[in-house]
Chain A
Amino acid sequence: MIPIEYYLWLSAVLFSIGVLGVLYRRNAIIIFMCIELMLNAVNLVMVAFSNYMNDAAGQVFVFFIMAVAAAEVAVGLAILVMTYRNTKSTDINILNRLKW
């Protein structure tokens, strides 16, 4: 059997790569994709624990995470398209009105 900590470490690596991507890139779409990557890392942990504890709750939760991720992507991309219409760019540094 593959020890569970291997899966945990794999998931940690994927998660931190996702964080790296969020911090590294300025394009909003790439940032979205890295967020998806982070969600997937979490999914991996869930399934691993579900397997090792013989509990179905983990997999059900992954189900729901996927549903939420789908909804989130849809809405997020819609917002992105609206922003592009107004600013003609996907650079997040242009979106600097979150002050005052």
Chain B
Amino acid sequence: MVDIKVLISWIPIFPLLGFLIIGLRVHKISHRTSSYIACGAVLLSFLFSAIVFAQLLGMPSDQRALTVRIINWIGTMGFSANISFLIDPLSSIMLLVVTGVGFLIHVYSIGYMHDDAGYSRFFSYLNLFIFFMLLLVMGSNYLLMFVGWEGVGLCSYLLIGFWFKNHDYNKAANKAFIMNRIGDLGLLLGVILIFINFGSIDYDIVFPNASSISGTTLTWITILLFIGAMGKSAQIPLYTWLPDAMAGPTPVSALIHAATMVTAGVYMVARNNILYSLSPLALELVLVIGLCTALFAATIALLQNDIKKVLAYSTVSQLGLMFVALGLGAYSSGIFHMVTHAFFKALLFLGAGSVIHALQGEQDIRRMGGLKRFLPVTYLTFFVATLAISGIPPFAGFFSKDEILANAFAHNPLVWTVALLASLLTVFYMFRLFYLTFFGTPRADASRMNHIHESPKSMAIPLMVLAVLSFAGGFMNIPEALGGSNRLQEYLSPVLNAGDNKAVHHLDHATEYLLMAIVVGLTLVVIGIAYVRFVKKQLVPVEDGQLAGISRTVYHKYYVDEIYDFLIVRPIHWFAKVGDRVVETLAIDRIVNSFGHLVTASSHVLRRLQNGSIGFYIFVMVLSIIVILTLTTVADLGR
């Protein structure tokens, strides 16, 4: 049997090779070859991850940590960092999610990007993204995580601006990258602080010694790290890039902005759970921001009319919920919700892509409707996903959301109320989306309806697989109250409960049943309201110009983008202009040009030496002889 460490080292190599092979021959390679290479690479990574996971399960639970050192990257006196991978329960779960969902989306893209001219380029970028995400998740020190962090930001930029001939898409890509970088500054400062205080950036050295550092320093570190998570995982105030990132192709939105990249922040906080547990202030901050984001984004999603924008705001809101879980100390609940969210959010996005593909590019839900008859597979899978995200048992979302709500109630009933409100709003807008898209009479143009067709198999099969996962995914962590054994939580506990985590809620079963009943009951009520509004009464959202009052503010995302533009972007542009006109032109140009002028002027002077007159030359010769003789005589006499 091959050594497990070799298997581990090969997991990120396959996507990297896929990127290189396709990328270097991107103009000459055929569509078929590139799809085989790309999907094959990710499939191989998934299989290897599965083997590693099985291996890990076979080991006793307190020894489940494999470190594979590849090579020493930086080795200086004060600072040394290796390229080494850490496989423990947390990273093994992340590996499976990333490669598994990634593989399904690769297969989906074969059908979705079928007619696109940049087909091979797309797959090479996707493979590069998988590679960087794997680095992020598998890295055993902050440096490798940061490399992966930046790399996925880069791939996000490349993929959002994939159709680069459209200037607006380029602007969206820029926005995503720049906002990410603002967060990354916080992350980098946090890592630097870690290095200063711990002397190393290896997880193996930082985590065991965490309690020996002062609380204030740890609070600073964790807050700075969380700023990075704010940027990457689209929390307030760095969230506005995610809705604009819908400019990219739908598989990109599914993979990067639903299932994997935006969860990097969640992974990072969970990985650093020991540090966070020692800084209660930072945990409070995480909780508050998560809560505010969840509610805020949910309100915006209520009135959006672009199918992908609704899903984008939904992602922001769900990420907020995950951070609520982390902020409560229930790290494994956050990870659990992240896994189930990956399944049903990817499914939602792929389903939306299927609808868009069927309607040849229409994305406005006011011009959809009645698609139930024409797109049966899409309709069914979308329904499963909507049920999952609404938290209807026994779908996956129910178990994960229920855990978060139970933890919230145990901490503070107010937190529970706000989280519940956000969840109910989620149910409402998701079902609004569902009913307006699939039910009623078709509102699309006749030309589009004539060419409507169900998606090809390459798109339909991933939908079905994800639907099964969305249904069955919750069964990995059934709570005790319902007779389960919390298997995922136990699996993750060596990593996530190693510190002083007062993690798991301690509610008695009766309270839990009561809470579950309340939540499910309210959910059903909201579904009923949505049904009455959008199916019975067939209310269609109004056109853009006809909104008034508070609806208008909410529809325009509370004008946050405009506020940012006014407060931040314009002053920076002004500074740049001043810098160009004043500093650059007046000061720097003058200094640089003065060197040239100096040379020219001195050459004018020195030119006179060579005037060709022999008398002058003889004169200079005699003078030099005198000087030389004087110098040598004086030197001799001095000796």
Contacts and interface: CB of A to CB of B under 8 A. Distances in A.
Interface in B394-424: none
Interface stretch (A41-49, A51-59, A71-79, A92-100): A92-100
Nearest to A22: B618
Contacts of B611: 96, 99
Chain A CB count within 10 A is highest, among B612, B613, B614, for: B614
A23 B617 CA distance: 10
A100 B611 CA distance: 9
Contacts of A22: 618, 622
Interface string B596-639: 00000000000000111111011100100000000000000000
Contact of A23 (B610, B613, B622): B622
B612 A19 contact: no
Contacts of A92: 614-615
B23 to A, nearest CB: 56
Given A19-B622, A23-B622, A99 B615 contact: no
A88 B506 CA distance: 121
B615 A26 contact: yes
Contact of A95 (B610, B614, B622): B614
B618 to A, nearest CB: 6
A97 B611 CA distance: 8
Contact of B615 (A19, A93, A97, A100): A93
Contacts of B610: 99-100
A22 B610 CA distance: 20
A23 B614 CA distance: 10
B622 A96 contact: no
A68 to B, nearest CB: 20
Contact of B612 (A23, A26, A98): A98
Nearest to A31: B618
Nearest to B622: A19
Interface in B66-85: none
Contacts of A100: 610
A93 B618 CA distance: 12
A93 B613 CA distance: 6
A90 to B, nearest CB: 12
B619 A96 contact: no
A99 B619 contact: no
A87 to B, nearest CB: 13
Contact of A98 (B617, B619, B622): B617
Contacts of B619: 23
Contacts of B622: 19, 22-23
Contacts of B612: 96-99
Contacts of B615: 23, 26, 92-93
B614 A98 contact: yes
Contacts of A95: 614
Contacts of B617: 98
A8 B611 CA distance: 37
Contacts of A23: 615, 618-619, 622
B619 to A, nearest CB: 6
Contacts of B614: 92-93, 95-96, 98
A96 B613 contact: yes
Chain A CB count within 10 A is highest, among B615, B617, B618, for: B615
B459 to A, nearest CB: 78
Contacts of A97: 612
Nearest to B626: A19
Nearest to A98: B612
B363 to A, nearest CB: 74
B610 to A, nearest CB: 5
A19 B625 CA distance: 11
A98 B617 CA distance: 10
Contacts of B613: 93, 96
Nearest to A96: B612
Chain B CB count within 10 A is highest, among A26, A92, A97, for: A92
Interface string A1-33: 000000000000000000100110010000000
Nearest to B619: A23
Interface string B447-482: 000000000000000000000000000000000000
Nearest to B609: A99
A88 B376 CA distance: 112
A95 B617 CA distance: 12
A99 B615 CA distance: 13
Contacts of A19: 622
Contacts of A99: 610-612
Interface in B470-511: none
A24 to B, nearest CB: 10
A28 to B, nearest CB: 9
A95 B309 CA distance: 88
Nearest to B613: A96
Nearest to A99: B612
Nearest to B607: A99
A13 to B, nearest CB: 16
Chain B CB count within 10 A is highest, among A93, A97, A100, for: A93
Contacts of A26: 615
Contacts of A98: 612, 614, 617
The 7 tightest CB contacts between A and B, nearest first, are A99-B612, A96-B612, A92-B614, A99-B610, A98-B612, A96-B613, A95-B614
20 contacts: A19-B622, A22-B618, A23-B615, A23-B618, A23-B619, A26-B615, A92-B614, A92-B615, A93-B614, A95-B614, A96-B611, A96-B613, A96-B614, A97-B612, A98-B614, A98-B617, A99-B610, A99-B611, A99-B612, A100-B610
Interface of B: 610-615, 617-619, 622
Given A96-B612, A98-B614, 19 more contacts: A19-B622, A22-B618, A23-B615, A23-B619, A23-B622, A26-B615, A92-B614, A92-B615, A93-B613, A93-B615, A96-B611, A96-B613, A96-B614, A97-B612, A98-B612, A98-B617, A99-B610, A99-B611, A100-B610
